[in-house]
Structure 1
């Protein structure tokens, strides 16, 4: 049985799969459009701060929890040195418990700036990346994507061989830069160094689907499933099989996704897909 966060992910997969396949990889546009987008992203990134995203995130949580977070924030303002870092980490943990990655990103960025360490830059990048994934506010998504790129680049500058940093940077460059092929090249470097790297293989699989390279997507998601099978990966594998007309394989993969998710919303969708494929 999936936990609440996993169920949300599975449902989002159903909603977003059409949008994923409909969107070309960013960067395959003319230079004027790229320049306009770059200016917009630069402007957007300056609009958001830890304070602003924290206030926004508090609107969706219990009032007592919001007050706990506000109390720690007030303590952070007065603290210095290791005490401040400790309080910021406590604040990041609170947002982690609430599954609110965007404030986490700004917190880890602040820690990394005061205590330069690869670990915190990677955590900042991961939080920003999670925050912009499936983000409906396009201005916020662009700002977070830019911040993710900056954070991962800081980590890579500290250790050019860190696979987590390279994977995050590669994924963020593909989705939010004018040079997506540089991101894909980084991801390929990661899987060359670590063929069983889960995140890099999954990300390359998604980009293969987005660019209509379904044969490659199938290979990637088969690797992902060998490493760590989940409902989402089986769903994408099934979709890729369906796109190239391999109905039997698609039905089998959809069935595995349904079995692993044990979620009514996904099950109903998959039943309809299987019914269509069985005709």
Structure 2
């Protein structure tokens, strides 16, 4: 039932062309095929009383027919609440409702990245649903905002979290292709550096992260990752860079 509801809400919003709406709605439907209703009910059984009361109150407002602007605000709160509770499929579901109500590249990107942590779920059904939700949402973000590299990086990250059996390097290859097209793009360099660290390729990680810091000495993600890499490799520059990481993080 929730899928039908999201489609009805989507078609009620008229800032996009009919053709574009059909394409986005089709992608949303082909994303997660799991009925999230029973999952929400099961998750509620283990909630603290205060959390349950907050969620029920927000749901009541959303289901009470609030105007779109207010409704979107409460949907965002529901998504954020479930995200803090590490129920990423549910959080992604509500973020998707936001994107279907106000279909922008940013909203679809937020929906996609909300699903991504759930790909690591040990339950294969929930993991697959989060992966499908992330991919379909991020593809929507790219179709609406094709020049935004972050959307493409996040889509690649979804594939690195759950590599296709017939193409296990798909996510990495997507990032490498982005690196070829945008060799000085900080988010691409930093993402490749982080993944190289994760797989123990320290020399390659160092090359990419040092390049990112050279391009922008205050790019916090690269600075902090490079500080950690220096620490792990006993580089004498580790303490100095760790101090800088803390400074620009505050």
Q: Provide the TM-score with structure 1 as the length reference.
A: 0.59
Measure the CA separation in 2 of the matches of 1:181 and 1:79.
Answer: 45
- Please state if 1:215 is matched with 2:203: yes
Residue in structure 1 matched with residue 228 of structure 2 by the alignment: 235
- Please state if 1:150 is matched with 2:136: yes
Contact 2:119 2:130 in 1 (8 A): yes
Question: What CA deviation, in whole Å up to 9, does each residue of 1:43-86 have, x standing for no partner?
Answer: x953451x344345545543122112112213323326514333
Q: Specify which structure has the bigger relative contact order, considering alpha-carbon pairs within 8 angstroms and separated by 6 or more residues.
A: 1
Measure the CA separation in 1 of the matches of 2:186 and 2:41.
Answer: 36
Corresponding residue SS for 2:143: helix
Question: What CA deviation, in whole Å up to 9, does each residue of 1:237-257 have, x standing for no partner?
Answer: 544x4xxxxxx42x7548966
Residue in structure 2 matched with residue 161 of structure 1 by the alignment: 147
Corresponding residue SS for 2:59: helix
Contact 2:209 2:225 in 1 (8 A): no
Provide the aligned length of Structure 1 versus Structure 2.
207
Q: Please, which runs of 5 or more residues in structure 1 have no aligned partner?
A: 1-43, 242-247, 262-279
Residue in structure 2 matched with residue 205 of structure 1 by the alignment: 193
Cα deviation, residue 98, structure 1:
5.3
Distance 1:78 1:194, change over 3 A: farther
Residue in structure 1 matched with residue 90 of structure 2 by the alignment: 103
Distance 1:222 1:56, change over 3 A: farther
Cα deviation, residue 170, structure 1:
1.3
Measure the CA separation in 2 of the matches of 1:222 and 1:197.
Answer: 11
Cα deviation, residue 176, structure 1:
2.1
Contact 2:118 2:126 in 1 (8 A): no
Corresponding residue SS for 2:146: coil
- Please state if 1:172 is matched with 2:154: no
Contact 2:95 2:110 in 1 (8 A): yes
Question: What CA deviation, in whole Å up to 9, does each residue of 1:169-220 have, x standing for no partner?
Answer: 111123324235443343245455373523x333312433455543212223
- Please state if 1:54 is matched with 2:53: no
Corresponding residue SS for 1:195: coil
Cα deviation, residue 151, structure 1:
1.0
Cα deviation, residue 155, structure 1:
0.9
Contact 2:89 2:129 in 1 (8 A): no
Given candidates 66, 72, 95, the residue that maps to 2:58 is 72
Corresponding residue SS for 2:147: coil
Distance 1:160 1:237, change over 3 A: farther
Cα deviation, residue 224, structure 1:
5.6
Distance 1:181 1:159, change over 3 A: farther
Residue in structure 2 matched with residue 195 of structure 1 by the alignment: 184
**1:13-28, aligned counterparts within 5 Å?**
none
